[in-house]
Amino acid sequence: MLNNKNGIIFGVANKRSIAWATALALHEAGAKLAFTYQGDRLKENVEELTNEAMPGSLLLSCDVSKQDEVDEAFRHIGEKFGRLDFLIHSIAFAPREALGGEYLNTSREAFLTALEISAYSLPQLARAAAPLMTEGGSIVSMSYYGAEKVVAGYNVMGVAKAALEASTRYLAKDLGPRNIRINAISAGPIQTLSARGVSDFSTMLKHHAERAPLGRNVEPREVGQTAVFLCSSMSSGITGEVIYVDCGYNIMGI
Choose between 135 and 200: whose C-beta lies nearer to ligand NAP. 200
Choose between 124 and 179: whose C-beta lies nearer to ligand 1JT. 124
Among 10, 20, 111, 154, the residue binding ligand 1JT under the rule CB under 6 A is 154
Left if phi > 0, otherwise alpha if psi is -120 to 50, otherwise beta: which for 17?
Answer: beta
From the list 81, 185, 74, the residue with the least C-alpha distance to 126 is 74
Strand partners, 37: 61
Among 9, 132, 204, 243, the residue binding ligand 1JT under the rule CB under 6 A is 204
d(CA 142, CA 32) in angstroms, rounded, equals 21
Interaction partner, residue 58 (ligand 1JT, ligand NAP, none; CB < 5-8 Å by kind): none
Among 137, 153, 188, 224, the residue binding ligand 1JT under the rule CB under 6 A is 153
Q: Which residues bind ligand NAP (CB under 6 A)?
A: 11-13, 17-19, 38, 42, 63-65, 90-93, 117, 142-144, 187, 189-190, 192-195
Alpha carbon 201 to its chain's center: 20
Interaction partner, residue 64 (ligand NAP, ligand 1JT, none; CB < 5-8 Å by kind): ligand NAP
SS3 8: strand
Interhelix angle 18-28/220-231, nearest 10 degrees: 50
**Which residue in the list 37, 145, 154, 249 is annotated as catalytic?**
154
d(CA 229, CA 225) in angstroms, rounded, equals 6
Q: Is 144 a catalytic residue?
A: yes
Choose between 63 and 148: whose C-beta lies nearer to ligand NAP. 63
Choose between 42 and 151: whose C-beta lies nearer to ligand 1JT. 151
Shortest distance in whole angstroms from residue 91 CB to ligand NAP: 4
Choose between 73 and 223: whose C-beta lies nearer to ligand 1JT. 223
Interaction partner, residue 46 (ligand 1JT, ligand NAP, none; CB < 5-8 Å by kind): none
d(CA 224, CA 18) in angstroms, rounded, equals 7
Give residues 42-101 in contact with ligand 1JT (rule: CB under 6 A): 92-94, 99
d(CA 53, CA 152) in angstroms, rounded, equals 38
Contacts of 211 (CB under 8 A, 6+ apart): 249, 252
Which of the residues are catalytic?
Answer: 144, 154
